[in-house]
Amino acid sequence: MKPLSAGRLPDAAPSDYILVDACSYCYGPASTVSTILDAIGAEKRSFDIVFLGTGSSLEFLQGHPAIDRIVEVNTESFSALEQIQDVVSRASLALVNTNPVLAIFAKQRRVPVVYVDILPWMHPEIESQIDSIRGLYDNEARLAQIKRPQDLLAGADKFLMQAYLTDFPVDPSIRNPIRIAPLLDRHLLERPRPGADRRRRLLISTGGLFNPDTREEALVEYARQIAEIGWEAARGAGLDEVLICGPEKLQTIIPARKAGQTSLTAARFPHSAFMEQLKNSDYIAIVPGLTSIYETFGLGIPTLLLPPTNYSQVLQTRAVIDAGLADRLAVTEGFEEICRETARHGEIEGTGRLLRMLEEALRGKSFRQSVRNGFERLVGTSREDAVLSKRQSFMHALGNDGAETVAKHVLGLFAPAAKT
């Protein structure tokens, strides 16, 4: 895989290529992009795929066989994108994953856009959230000109909206959105039962965890406490190993160790390797991002939802509760009120309130106790537990061919002769 220099393509690069992107710090966009690329890569194609991203997205997608070239860039910043505007303007298509900034930037340069949406919070009352969305991108001048919701989301040639845990309304400015099944690795649902002689494992996934809207010190402490408490529960249950997965930084925060028969290891895996680790685990604890919820619920493995660390995770957790799928939660005292407060104030202010509450909880005993109770319930869960079947049935009802649907649209719309 060859990297691209910032701002231009090398002379030897092909003239026909499409752009794909993933948020620099979240797990969900990287996972869903990987699944879409698996589907596209399985088809015969006459174009290259250029990946735009940085941070955690590069860690998760490094080495993906469908990616031909990489440009390391923050796709949520207009000023960063302007540094590679030649790369963007010469593309035949931009496959954008829940990122209005890249969609607007590409459309301004007359590049066709296929917009894949994986976040429900962007739709309800989106007009009232425009100020918050501007704030996410440091009030950059071009985004500050946005006045209407259709300026954010409705400019794509195709708008493919992933099914959610609950039926979120869609902004009326988006005409005829195409609802698709969740973007899942279909092989996940064909997971074989582990052999009796294999090591018994608890896998803890922090997702992207580190992001520019949060205090890193609080999230470092969050990850450290979660790992320690999970390890204690695993030792008490006689498990063989605890594997905590997330950004590379975790390996410096959480040193490897072993007590008795139970080991604790922090590791970073590319997406495909992480999926294999997930499939071969006996118990799973996750931060409650939508993609992580879908992946683990589809497996039918006992899963604990950890306290949320951002606005989207709050909404997903509330949706799980509302759907009657939340009998394994590690939540602090007053959590439901925290969720209500966060959702009521919108993403920017709500996330700030959530993180202040989380920081306060991390300093007290209630956080450790509620998380400890959650892990103890988790490792005591039988595979025949009724909620596991209910979760798996829920995922089967939503389907698992969303990535194939996106791939067909991309391949159908890709027409090099139409590029001018």
152-198 pLDDT, tens digit each: 555 567 778 788 777 666 666 666 678 888 888 776 666 565 555 67
Helix (H) or strand (E) holding 222: helix 216-236
Over residues 235-253, the pLDDT tens digits come to 999 999 999 988 777 888 8
The span from the CA of 213 to the CA of 227, in Å, is 23
**Contact at 8 Å (CB) between 25 and 56?**
yes
Number of C-alpha atoms within 13 angstroms, CB side, residue 244?
30
What pLDDT sits at residue 418? 43
160: which strand partners?
116, 178
Each residue of 27-65: b (16+ CB within 10 Å) or e? Answer: bbbbbbbbbbbbbbeeeebebbbbbbbbbbbbbbbeebe
Q: What average pLDDT does range 50-55 have in this prediction? A: 91
Q: Which two tokens stand for residue 311?
A: 């606005």
Record the pTM. 0.82
φ, ψ at 243 (rounded to 5°):
-115, 120
Instruction: Label residue 27 by pLDDT band (50, 70, 90).
Output: confident
User: If you average pLDDT over each of 152-161, 199-208, 339-348, which comes out highest?
Assistant: 199-208
Asked whether residue 95 carries a pLDDT value surpassing 90, the answer given is yes
Q: Look up residue 278 and give its DSSP letter.
A: H
Mean pLDDT, the chain, whole residue set: 77
Distance, in Å, from the CA atom of 75 to the CA atom of 24, rounded to the nearest integer, reads 8
Predicted pLDDT at 94: 93
Spatial CB neighbours of 161, under 8 Å, sequence gap ≥ 6: 117, 170, 177, 178, 179, 180
Lowest-confidence pick of 18-22, 220-224, 354-358, 414-418: 414-418
User: Cβ distance 87 to 8 under 8 Å?
Assistant: yes
